[in-house]
Structure 1
Amino acid sequence: MSISKNNAFTELMAIRGGLPPSTDEVEVTGADPMYVSPFKLGETCAGALAARGVAANDLWELRTGHRQKISIDVRAAAATSRYGGDMTLRRNEHGEYQPIPYSQAMKHMVSLTQPWKARDGRWVLPHTNLPHLERRVLDVLDCHSTVDSVRTAVARWDSDALEDAIARAQACAGKVRTPEEWLAHPHGAYLASRPVVEITKLADGEPEPLPPGTRPLSSIRALDLTRILAGPTAALGMAEHGADVLMVTTPHLPQVPSFVRDTSHGKRSCFLDMDRAVEAERLRELVSEADVLIDGYRPNRLAAHGFGVDELVKLRPGLIHVSVNCYGSGGPFADRAGWDQVAQAVTGMCHTQGQATGAGHPQLTPVFTCDFLTGFLATFGAMIALARRAREGGTYRVQVSLCQSAMLLQRQGLLEDFHDAPGSLTSAEFEALAVCDDDTVYGDLKTLGPVLRMSETPCTWLGTTPELGSAKAEWLRR
């Protein structure tokens, strides 16, 4: 497949601007379907990863004066969305690598986080990813934490009223819309009017040459203020290209351990509590020395702690601020929380998936593609902004969202023949891409490694996957 036929890649190259890469710079192999889904999940992810490779090449050219070859396989790109399962194995006492079973908590979340039929005949997907969000949803529904109870409770509500009530409760839910309904909705129309990766120059400044190093992002410092897939995947991409990535969280912040395990490779992790003056001041010091900050919170959430965009760019003129959220940073739904499944529901993906599979009701896709695709797009945007800062100077904001990623997926068209899709890589394909990670807090792991190939600076993870809070709140020496 020629990369010129990948519409997602073409769309991202328009955002990048400048001269397009040469026809032989990027090679894409393989094709969809990988999963039982009408969406071109693998090809869209491959296009985003190829674009990320071009952005890394731009930085490499600034360092060395020349470019390198990039390659990506569609099946490997699709496999990045299949978190855990047979993509992360753990060595047992016999020395054999085995799939890590899904936790009961994850199985329970999946069972409740599905589209349920409302009183008006429409469907609503409540999200129960984290315990506090589940409690809020159940309080609104006035029901128990079981499939039958949630199904019965949703059926007592009209869909719009329930979506709004759960939003008011600071929880997450999405009414299942058709793609056409979403584009006609004020928020869908708002997002459709904006680029899938929005890069804004916030202030002028002197050019900042890239620090010395042997990889595209060597000695670039990235603060990871995110959790649960999309944001962590963005920071993971930075680490794959050589950045010093420091995850900042607190012991009391709810996490999904398997998600942390699978998106923390190549990073370091520290604890800092923004509500404690001394620790907040240390975070400000880290920001003042950072190049990139990835913000995975809803708009204005960090501002309430004194870490809004305006405050951050004053601390560090030249900062690249990356916003990763569900609905984007503007429009009528901007203040709403959401996750991959909610984005699928509201943008039309659930509707189309259910129709195409013949399920007779809305369905989620088999994998969390919106999450991982959004992460790839965020890394792409951050590197484009870094290149602009190196050439012309300035402070930049990069904005991506799960809903924009879902809309990008739907712009690629639909597959017709997908019902016999394999659903995973072959054992040989996995082994060719696998990376062993021994002595982690999660055991000895074998996991799907970086799938983007670069001829001179291979994407790699340095260091063992860390335990949360195991590092000091400081940058590595340049």
Structure 2
Amino acid sequence: MTPADQAFDQLMRLAGRPRPDFVRIADEPPALNTRFHAEAAAAAALAAVGTLAAELWTMRSGQAQEVAVSPREAGAALLSFALQVFEDSSRAPPLRPDDAGGGGRGTPAMGFFETKDRRHVFLHPSFPSSAAKLHRLLGSPADTAAVAAAAMTWTAMDLENAIAEAGVCGAMVRTAEEWDQSEQGRILAARPLVEVVKIAEGPPMPLPAAGDAPLSGLRVLDLTRVLAGPTCGRTLAQHGADVLYIASPNLPATEFFISDVGHGKLSAWLDLPAELARLKELVAEADVFSQGYRLGSLERMGLGPLDLARLRPGIVYTSINAYGHEGPWSGRPGWEQLAQTVTGMADIHGAAFGGAGPRLQPAAVADYTTGFLAAFGTMVALQRRALYGGSYMVRVSLAQTAMWLRALGLRPVEALAATQPASPAEIDGWRMDSPSGFGPVRHLRPPVQMSLTPARWTRPTTPLGAHPAAWPA
């Protein structure tokens, strides 16, 4: 059994069903130069999404279909933001924006730094306000060498604790064993990879009758940010959901990521809490509420899972965060790089390349895969709602996904030499051309093949706030 088949079987057991016979995951050589089965995990998550899409379509139409996924194409999807090609460079969003959102440009405090106890931390300046806090904590160093010198005045654990207390982003590099023995690691190990929990009773809610896609007629409110959460909404959109992305005009964003994960969505501004009443009006007509804000942020505005289950019986409330939804780390902000840092992935990856220190994966393996898993869990909940009724909570996290990737086993170090990177022609075969709010763009297509209801985006990606905060007629 291939690692992709193994991972897919795990997801099917989580959904409470045997492996279906209409799903095929190709057996292909890896394209990413990593010891982790990153492409296999992404392919399994996409196959699980395709399985639920096929089953939902059967519920709507009585028709069965086949699903196929290429792990190599799934691996390219883990780098989809970097594989966009814009025709008009004057309208194209910058790859590394000055606001430091995800790229870190404009501040030297980004990356791995050694500490005085000969360990390492990863510093992530994130957006401008948190970057400023991180610089103040380090003594406002002016360049990378000064950041490195400042980090050498701390032990790794003391610096991690100070970063957490300041509410900014950074973490100590851990081995896999250290993470697994930590309180947060033990909490995550005791929870499912994707949690789907009924939180309120209610009558069954059949799928809408009209439409030509598995999720046609279903409405998704997307209140997430880079990259996992928006990937969930984009994945639901490719199977027909009406996805309305809500952004705040007061929060910074990274347009190069927005253009990548905005396919298939409407995008509107809402200033919370000032426009909270309008958001609740949208919730009252939604089927899914997907959010990626820090623990407690939305609850303080009356937007927690139970609040919305009362406001909109039958809601599916999907939450995505960095370190899990319970335990001492549940409220910490984090990103892809930090999930790799704390769970042992960076340590293992670095050791495979000369042992000169921790290294990140050659793709956003936790972010995108977590987004696919969130969409899978959301579709499981929608299916259960249609069959049995009720409101549901779905929870995933970057760290949980990273632990799952580790648990799928490691490629031998000697096998890395046999990695076959995707060629430009191969990547171009996975691309499609679309209009967009950033001008014509050539970008990756949805990486799952459906025989009757092809995955597709019917709305072009746009800059934030391009539409009114309203559901389509």
TM-score (norm 1): 0.93
Structure 2 CA distance for aligned equivalents of residues 200 and 160 of structure 1: 35
> Which residue of 339, 344, 351 maps to 1:348?
344
Kindly report which structure 2 residues correspond to 1:21-100, keeping only aligned pairs within 5 A, or say none.
Answer: 21-22=20-21, 25-85=22-82, 87-92=83-88
Offset at residue 184 of structure 1 (A): 0.4
Corresponding residue number in structure 2 for 1:326: 322
Structure 2 CA distance for aligned equivalents of residues 133 and 32 of structure 1: 40
Corresponding residue number in structure 2 for 1:17: 16
Contact 2:109 2:135 in 1 (8 A): no
Corresponding residue number in structure 2 for 1:302: 298
**Residues paired across the two proteins, number:** 467
Q: Which amino acid is 2:380 matched to?
A: I
Structure 2 CA distance for aligned equivalents of residues 304 and 338 of structure 1: 20
Corresponding residue number in structure 2 for 1:208: 205
Offset at residue 42 of structure 1 (A): 0.7
Structure 1 CA distance for aligned equivalents of residues 280 and 89 of structure 2: 45
Offset at residue 107 of structure 1 (A): 6.0
Q: Which amino acid is 1:127 matched to?
A: H
> Which residue of 272, 275, 300 maps to 1:274?
272
Distance change >3 Å, CA 442–CA 191, structure 1 → 2: same
Offset at residue 67 of structure 1 (A): 2.3
Give CA-to-partner distance per residue, 1:326-356, whole Å, 9 cap, x none: 0111011111110000100000000000001
Corresponding residue number in structure 2 for 1:244: 242
Deviates more, 1:353-362 or 1:393-402: 353-362
Offset at residue 5 of structure 1 (A): 6.0
Contact 1:434 1:446 in 2 (8 A): yes
Q: Which amino acid is 1:398 matched to?
A: V
Offset at residue 108 of structure 1 (A): 2.5
Structure 2 CA distance for aligned equivalents of residues 60 and 328 of structure 1: 32
Contact 2:184 2:327 in 1 (8 A): yes
Kindly report which structure 2 residues correspond to 1:458-477, keeping only aligned pairs within 5 A, or say none.
Answer: 458-477=454-473
Structure 2 CA distance for aligned equivalents of residues 34 and 216 of structure 1: 31
Q: Which amino acid is 1:47 matched to?
A: A
Offset at residue 246 of structure 1 (A): 0.1
Q: Secondary structure at the match of 2:246?
A: strand
> Which residue of 120, 125, 144 maps to 1:123?
120
Corresponding residue number in structure 1 for 2:386: 390
Deviates more, 1:429-438 or 1:378-387: 429-438
Structure 1 CA distance for aligned equivalents of residues 107 and 50 of structure 2: 33
Give CA-to-partner distance per residue, 1:174-231, whole Å, 9 cap, x none: 1111111111000001000110001110011100000122211001100000111100
Contact 1:141 1:150 in 2 (8 A): yes
Contact 1:3 1:27 in 2 (8 A): no
Q: Secondary structure at the match of 1:443?
A: coil
Offset at residue 427 of structure 1 (A): 2.9
Offset at residue 433 of structure 1 (A): 2.0
Give CA-to-partner distance per residue, 1:85-136, whole Å, 9 cap, x none: 3x10011589xxx997544653637964322111112111111121112111
Structure 1 CA distance for aligned equivalents of residues 45 and 89 of structure 2: 39
Contact 1:266 1:463 in 2 (8 A): yes
Q: Which amino acid is 1:342 matched to?
A: L
Give CA-to-partner distance per residue, 1:410-452, whole Å, 9 cap, x none: 11111121246354x32332232212122x3322110011110
Deviates more, 1:293-302 or 1:25-34: 25-34
Distance change >3 Å, CA 150–CA 28, structure 1 → 2: same
Q: Does 1:311 align with 2:310?
A: no
Q: Which runs of 4+ in 1 moved over 4 A?
A: 2-5, 98-105
Offset at residue 36 of structure 1 (A): 2.0
Structure 2: gaps (5+ residues): none
Structure 1 CA distance for aligned equivalents of residues 140 and 182 of structure 2: 30
Contact 2:345 2:406 in 1 (8 A): yes
Corresponding residue number in structure 2 for 1:366: 362
> Which residue of 175, 194, 200 maps to 2:191?
194
Contact 1:209 1:391 in 2 (8 A): yes
Q: Which amino acid is 1:154 matched to?
A: A
Contact 2:232 2:375 in 1 (8 A): yes
Identity across aligned pairs (percent)?
39
Structure 2 CA distance for aligned equivalents of residues 355 and 109 of structure 1: 30
Q: Which amino acid is 1:131 matched to?
A: P
Contact 2:104 2:126 in 1 (8 A): no
Kindly report which structure 2 residues correspond to 1:124-163, keeping only aligned pairs within 5 A, or say none.
Answer: 124-163=121-160
Q: Which amino acid is 1:238 matched to?
A: L
Contact 1:174 1:343 in 2 (8 A): no
> Which residue of 183, 202, 226 maps to 2:180?
183
Contact 1:178 1:347 in 2 (8 A): yes
Contact 1:299 1:329 in 2 (8 A): yes
Q: Secondary structure at the match of 2:162?
A: helix
Structure 1 CA distance for aligned equivalents of residues 18 and 70 of structure 2: 24
Structure 2 CA distance for aligned equivalents of residues 341 and 192 of structure 1: 20
Structure 2 CA distance for aligned equivalents of residues 37 and 57 of structure 1: 32
Contact 1:354 1:363 in 2 (8 A): yes
Offset at residue 467 of structure 1 (A): 2.2
Contact 1:12 1:51 in 2 (8 A): yes
Q: Does 1:455 align with 2:451?
A: yes
Q: Which amino acid is 1:347 matched to?
A: T
Q: Secondary structure at the match of 1:418?
A: helix
Offset at residue 472 of structure 1 (A): 1.3
Corresponding residue number in structure 1 for 2:252: 254
Q: Secondary structure at the match of 2:111?
A: coil
Q: Which amino acid is 1:435 matched to?
A: M
